[in-house]
Amino acid sequence: MDASIRTTIEELARGDQRRVALGHVADAFAEAFHAGVEAELVAEAAIAAALRELVAIFGEDSVSAFAALLAGAVASGEFSGASKH
């Protein structure tokens, strides 16, 4: 199999996994909300859990650099659906 085709297939599979993962996260948020937990508390807990997992996988330096990139993405409106210019 051609390397570029294999890469494309791997990227598609990773995208599918990401969609499934986001669905599970959305379900967890809905379940917590339904149980009376405030959305911001669930979000903070999810971020903390995600950062712990990323540090365990990639190490503190890599995750620190990633977090710095996230700050710029948040400031530019990437997560709000509105762009700042």
The whole-model pTM stands at 0.72
Quick: pLDDT tens for 22-74.
Answer: 999 999 999 999 999 999 999 999 999 999 999 999 999 999 999 999 999 99
SS3 content of the chain, % helix, strand, coil (to 5): 80, 0, 20
Give the pLDDT band of residue 85 (cuts 50, 70, 90). Answer: very low
Whole-number Cα distances in Å, 22 to 16, 19, 56, 81: 10, 5, 20, 17
**Residue ranges in 35-79 assigned as alpha helix (H):** 39-58, 60-75
pLDDT, position 10: 77
Which of left, alpha, beta for 81 (phi over 0: left; psi -120 to 50: alpha)?
left
pLDDT, position 14: 82
